[in-house]
Amino acid sequence: MSRASIFDLLHQRQQDAAPVVEKTTARSDYLTDRLLLIDGVALTPAGFVARGVLPEAVPPVLSESLYGPDGYRLLVHPITDVMPLEDNRLKRLEHKAHRLNALVQTLMVEALIMLEALPEAAGFDLVLTLPLRSPQAGEIMLAQAREAIMETQYGDRLEGARLVPCQGELHDQMAVSEAGGAPRVLWLSADSLLNDDDVGRLNARGVLGRSSKGPGLHPGEAVSALLLQRVLPEDVPFDRGWLIGTATTRAHARRSDQRDYPRREKLLALLGEAWPDTAADPEPTGESMSLPNAPARLVVDSLTLPGRAVEAGGALMARWEMLDLIDDGIGVDVHGGWPGEAMSALQLVLAMASLEEGDSALVLEIAAETQSRALVLRACAGPTALANQL
């Protein structure tokens, strides 16, 4: 797809006139424990994901080129409709970078369309999280993403562009330096495990799903784009979008060394911390006042690893009897394979996809042996909700 076609597609979209505001100067005093999720899109092996668009889960297929240590072909989750690109520089620097670049460029038009939500003349930053060993490959991909933006009507509003490590908390990844940054961020995240190196890493961890044995993770890939807003102390209450606070994280003994009941009880306690029971508190205060009795949507990173479905299903049923993990939840690895370092961004898009205005969601990470995390997407509902949260 040519750059001209990207430019034309962006202009084909009709948008309501937004009030004219001055371009925001960079600031560094954003709240470190708040982000606002405005919009998000993703491309997965199951298909395109966006607000109101959630494809059905897809089964894995036998790889033509990847084999497990048992000599059998691996079951994998590839994205089939990817923009064809040829960049010999990336192939020479790091072959995986070529695939990641194709994924990013495939989603670029939809990512840029989200910028229509920006107030007129408002600036934004570009952040890329890509699991690359080669710094040079990362710089090439960042430059190409920046070039795609610069050739649209949003080019003069791009204030900063940088690569950030895949590891770490979301709020740390979106944080600004002392020099500051723009309030809004276009975040692109991609990973692909359809290569021998990443297959070897999954096998070394003992979690690789093989066609000749029991449960495990099937290598997949994903690319996501999210439009976020850094929150300032004086920001007026938001009447739409989802506020994301810091995750509730707990370390514990290895899951494989525990029986089902203790694992369920530990996860149940984590759910109680992340999503307080306002009905049981006669005078709820702070963040608990803005949460409904239960999430409208659940997203769990893994349900295929041994014991995870029982652990998650038991804890969620004990916490919210009316919720069903099948009807109200998504297991990312079941939906379209294991997306590696693209998991965090993809979970947010999957959670947001089925939400109505005013609905909140819960994101769970339970794939790790010795750690569990819960992240809440709290719907904004006008002045009262935000006032109670800050």
Q: Are 83 and 105 in contact (CB under 8 A)?
A: yes
Helix (H), strand (E) at residue 196: helix 196-204
pLDDT of residue 61: 95
With CA atoms as reference, report the closest residue to 127 among 90, 167, 172, 160: 160
Q: Could you tell me which residue, 214 or 97, shows the higher pLDDT? A: 97
> For residue 260, which of 319, 315, 330 has the smallest C-alpha distance?
315
* DSSP, residue by residue, 300-355: ES-SSSTTHHHHHHHHHHHH-TT--TTTSEEEHHHHH-B-GGGHHHHHHHHHHHTP
Say what the pLDDT of residue 167 is. Answer: 87
Which of the four pLDDT bands, split at 50, 70 and 90, describes residue 7? very low
Average pLDDT value over all residues in the chain: 88
Distances, alpha carbon 77 to alpha carbons 53, 59, 101, 304, in Å: 20, 8, 18, 14
Least-confidence region, from 7-11, 169-173, 334-338 = 7-11
Q: How many other CB atoms are there within 10 angstroms of residue 123's CB atom?
A: 21
pLDDT of residue 87: 78
234 confidence band (pLDDT: 50, 70, 90):
confident
| Pick from 141-145, 176-180, 283-287, 374-378: least confident | 283-287
Per-residue pLDDT tens for 132-186?
999 999 999 999 999 999 999 999 999 999 999 998 899 999 999 888 999 999 9
Whether 358 shows a pLDDT value over 80: the answer reads yes
Choose among 120, 76, 129: nearest CA to 100. Answer: 129
Strand 184-192 and strand 124-129: the pairing is parallel
Whole-number pLDDT of residue 237: 80
Q: What is the DSSP letter of 7?
A: H
> What mean pLDDT comes out for the span 359-381?
95
Percent residues over pLDDT 70 in the chain: 88
Strands (E), 197-325: 221-230, 242-244, 248-251, 297-300
Whole-number Å distance between alpha carbons of 336 and 36: 26
Which helix (H) or strand (E) segment is 184 a member of?
Answer: strand 184-192
- Residue 337 above 60 pLDDT? yes
pLDDT higher than threshold 50 for residue 282: no
Rounded to an integer, the average pLDDT of 211-222 is: 88
Helices and strands counted in the chain (H then E): 11, 14
Q: Return the H-helix or E-strand segment holding 372.
A: strand 371-379
- Answer whether 363's CB lies under 8 Å from 375's CB: yes
What 3-state DSSP class applies to 183?
coil
**Percentage above 90 pLDDT, the chain:** 74
Global pTM exceeds 0.95 = no
- Give the per-residue pLDDT at 292: 87
pLDDT of residue 18 exceeding 50, the answer is no
CB environment 331-349: b (16+ within 10 A), e (fewer): bbbbbbbbbbbbbbbbbbb
Residue 328 vs residue 40, higher pLDDT? 40
pLDDT attached to residue 21? 42
